[in-house]
Structure 1
Amino acid sequence: MSATITFPAVSLPPQTEEVRRDVRAFLQTCRDDGVFTPSGNSWAIFNAEFSRRCGAAGFLGMTWPNEVGGHERSMLERYVVIEEMLAAGAPVGAHWVADRQSGPQILRHGSDAAKALLPKIAAGECYFSIGMSEPDAGSDLAAVRTKATRVEGGWQITGTKIWTTFAHHSHYIIVLARSAPQTDNRREGFTQFICDLSAPGVTVRPIVNLAGTHEFNEVVFDAHFVSDDFVVGAPGQGWDLVTGELAFERSGPDRFLSAHTLVEMAVEAADDDDRSAEIIGGLVARLANLRQMSVSVASMLEAGQSPMLEAVIVKDLGAVFEQEVPDTVRSMIDVAPQMGGEGLAREMAHSVLHAPSFSIRGGTREILRGMIARGVGLR
């Protein structure tokens, strides 16, 4: 029997407009000071100075309690900050994972020792990576082989994680590992651990992508020790925690604004004719639809719900949109991608080279569509 998935209609409350004005002024100051130059895919650009400024301005840990360095703002106020930064092409990569998902996980499920990291995250001075995918597992997290073995005072982690963005810059990584023998239920027996990337037993190896940049890494754990204080939640709770975490990872504006700088440049360069108007109108309509769905998920998260399936739909549709943007723009403007060029030509090249990854990061298209089919009762 099939099921229906709905996205409740949500309007941003009036106080978000004040936040929008504040973040726009902040971004203009950062541009004027030469802290960053706008670029597409900006949530994968590392800039420690920008992250520290975000922390000082109160734009990190926005929804967290004051006592851990947060600002007790709403999820929708935070949403406005994120969409403004991404639309402006601001380099949020340094603090991105820690602020978006690692910090909230620690806040809800971490020990007091782990929570001591939160003020540093909110200050833009502590960075995290994600330790989910593996060379032989990909997006099938139930196939994770990294092993956690119980030892005195904690655990030893042995295994390999891959596609770990900015592990070479990060301080910590939250690792999903098998902590108990596998049973008939493949999702049982997992635990999440906060691993110190500078500690013994951790090796970070670079992976250079198609665009020639180093964002991704392979991280190898060889009997790396993690104390009990740095277990997230309880042993065996890893699957529930990681799937809840993915709702934060898959539903935000990063899933449809990665190519926004290219869209803006194309709109400015387009001819004033009916064909260009039609193409631009189509892009704007799809953006507006995706944004409304994403805001709806943010409101559900704020209400304490777990909209995992809704988040998956936003991620999948957003990836389709982002991957189609370069070809759509080229159908409107005759521009050759050129990494060494300037303006539209450079941004086009940047988007073309990064676009293949949009349907991989956060879960491959095949895995996500399988989840959707199961969620609506088609399999």
Structure 2
Amino acid sequence: MQTFDIKPYEMPAAARELRAQVRDIVSAHEHRFDPVRRANCWVAIDPEFSRALGAAGLLGMTWPKEQGGHERSALERYIVLEELLAAGAPVGAHWIADRQTAPLLMRYGTAEQVDRWVPGVARGEVYACIGLSEPGAGSDLASVRSAARKDSEGWVLNGQKVWTTGAHIAQIMIGLFRSEEGSERNAGLSQFLIPMDTPGITVKPIIDLSGAHDFNEVFFDDVRLAEGALVGKQGNGWAQATAELSLERSGPERYLSSHFLMTEFIRRLEVQSDAGALRLAGRMMSELWTLRQMSMAVAARLAEGEDPAFEATMVKDLGNSFEQAIPQLIEQQLELDLSSEEILEMLVAYELQVAPSFSLRGGTREILRGIIARGLGLR
């Protein structure tokens, strides 16, 4: 049976200066930010802001300088992410590329793949999407049926991906395809680096309940790729994709992407408070702090080259539950009129519409709790 392994960590000496730097950049750009979308900011897109972060050295922070990085520590990067999410800054353009696509390429990719794409990610100019979920697979990635067939000229892709965040702005996708005909479950899967302007790719929007366009369907019709499009080893896609999910599941976006809503709730308590609302604020902050300690413990292990998949899964599940509850608890406590154009009311109304998706992205709750149960020796 596994336990949640807490690694000791200390905040870096540069923490105070880093926080001030991020706050200055946010202040210079926030006149453009959509106030409502700040309650789900890590999917909000603002390429100008992404390029500003790249110019300031706040993307690719931990990467080698020869790949356009800055060789900062993982905890320094974590501090920057905390500040951006707490401020509700629109980081959706670069988020996936910086969080997992470029690190995946540096770990498994070829020198050509790294040199072609990774420096652009560090500049805030190259954006990526993840080709995992499919209509018949969902979060059960072992059911992936989209196929990659090898021929004398390279690879031919056919199939469909769904719920693909940011595919409409991304230049590249890391896609999981079944590369061995007749294979089943987690065998015979490979990952591919796919330029999104390749002929045969069609991106169709999925509009969510709030009217926002974050998700997409992506269709592959005889999409031809060079042999060098394979990422890592053929047939090793399952291991690579699950390692990548540790980066996706453990970050501060799993408990901070709604932080702007909490901030506005606490501001409201300055003029409209009662004992029940104050208790709710205290409860939220205590849960937030606990999740932060758990998430940073995972970050410390990732920084040491470990793969804390079990702990990352726990952070993701608990963080999703926390964030999904926030708008409901605030609305019930303050008995808000959600038709009002006051900022708190608009934020709660928006968050109630998008919060159900929180437990889908990065793996559904049912899948995650199965992983946790196995880690605890319960199944």
TM-score category, normalised to shorter length: over 0.9
Structure 2: distance between partners of 1:232 and 1:302: 22
Match of 1:328 in 2: 329
Tell me, yes or no, if the aligned pair for 1:50 and 1:91 is still in contact at 8 Å: yes
Structure 2: distance between partners of 1:157 and 1:183: 16
Tell me, yes or no, if the aligned pair for 1:37 and 1:89 is still in contact at 8 Å: no
Tell me, yes or no, if the aligned pair for 2:5 and 2:297 is still in contact at 8 Å: no
How far has the Cα of 1:225 moved from its partner?
Answer: 1.3
Structure 1: distance between partners of 2:8 and 2:320: 22
How far has the Cα of 1:150 moved from its partner?
Answer: 0.4
Question: How many residues were matched structurally?
Answer: 374
Structure 2: distance between partners of 1:306 and 1:344: 39
How far has the Cα of 1:64 moved from its partner?
Answer: 0.7
Structure 1: distance between partners of 2:225 and 2:6: 40
Match of 2:350 in 1: 350
1:198-277 equivalences in 2 (<5 Å): 198-270=197-269, 271-277=272-278
Match of 2:373 in 1: 373
2:256 is paired with a residue whose SS is: coil
1:9-24 equivalences in 2 (<5 Å): 9-24=8-23
Match of 2:106 in 1: 107
Match of 1:288 in 2: 289
Amino acid at match of 1:137: A
How far has the Cα of 1:297 moved from its partner?
Answer: 0.5
How far has the Cα of 1:332 moved from its partner?
Answer: 2.6
Structure 1: distance between partners of 2:231 and 2:14: 34
Amino acid at match of 2:125: E
Match of 2:56 in 1: 57
Structure 2: distance between partners of 1:14 and 1:227: 46
How far has the Cα of 1:272 moved from its partner?
Answer: 3.9
Structure 2: distance between partners of 1:374 and 1:35: 46
Structure 2: distance between partners of 1:227 and 1:310: 37
1:193 is paired with a residue whose SS is: strand
Structure 1: distance between partners of 2:51 and 2:338: 33
Match of 2:77 in 1: 78
Task: Deviation per CA, 1:249-299: give whole Å up to 9, x if none.
Answer: 000011111211111111111234322221110000000000111111111
Match of 2:161 in 1: 161
How far has the Cα of 1:9 moved from its partner?
Answer: 4.0
Structure 1: distance between partners of 2:2 and 2:370: 15
Tell me, yes or no, if the aligned pair for 1:3 and 1:377 is still in contact at 8 Å: yes
Structure 1: distance between partners of 2:154 and 2:302: 32
Tell me, yes or no, if the aligned pair for 1:160 and 1:218 is still in contact at 8 Å: yes
TM-score, length of structure 2 as denominator length:
0.96
How far has the Cα of 1:153 moved from its partner?
Answer: 3.6
How far has the Cα of 1:37 moved from its partner?
Answer: 4.2
How far has the Cα of 1:337 moved from its partner?
Answer: 2.4
State which drifts further: 127-136 or 329-338.
329-338
1:132-143 equivalences in 2 (<5 Å): 132-143=132-143
Task: Deviation per CA, 1:109-145: give whole Å up to 9, x if none.
Answer: 1112211211111111111001000000000000000
How far has the Cα of 1:377 moved from its partner?
Answer: 1.2
Stretches of structure 2 lacking an aligned partner (at least 5 in a row): none
Cα RMSD after superposing both structures:
1.4
Match of 1:36 in 2: 33
Match of 2:300 in 1: 299
2:181 is paired with a residue whose SS is: coil
Structure 2: distance between partners of 1:239 and 1:267: 43
1:112-151 equivalences in 2 (<5 Å): 112-115=111-114, 116-151=116-151
Tell me, yes or no, if the aligned pair for 2:243 and 2:309 is still in contact at 8 Å: yes
Tell me, yes or no, if the aligned pair for 1:182 and 1:188 is still in contact at 8 Å: no
State which drifts further: 60-69 or 10-19.
10-19
How far has the Cα of 1:174 moved from its partner?
Answer: 0.7
Identical positions, percent:
47
Structure 1: distance between partners of 2:123 and 2:230: 23
Match of 1:8 in 2: 7
Match of 1:196 in 2: 195
How far has the Cα of 1:183 moved from its partner?
Answer: 4.7
Match of 1:312 in 2: 313
Tell me, yes or no, if the aligned pair for 1:191 and 1:237 is still in contact at 8 Å: yes
Amino acid at match of 1:301: L
Tell me, yes or no, if the aligned pair for 1:113 and 1:230 is still in contact at 8 Å: no
Tell me, yes or no, if the aligned pair for 2:167 and 2:215 is still in contact at 8 Å: yes
1:204 is paired with a residue whose SS is: strand
Match of 1:337 in 2: 338
How far has the Cα of 1:182 moved from its partner?
Answer: 4.6
2:11 is paired with a residue whose SS is: coil
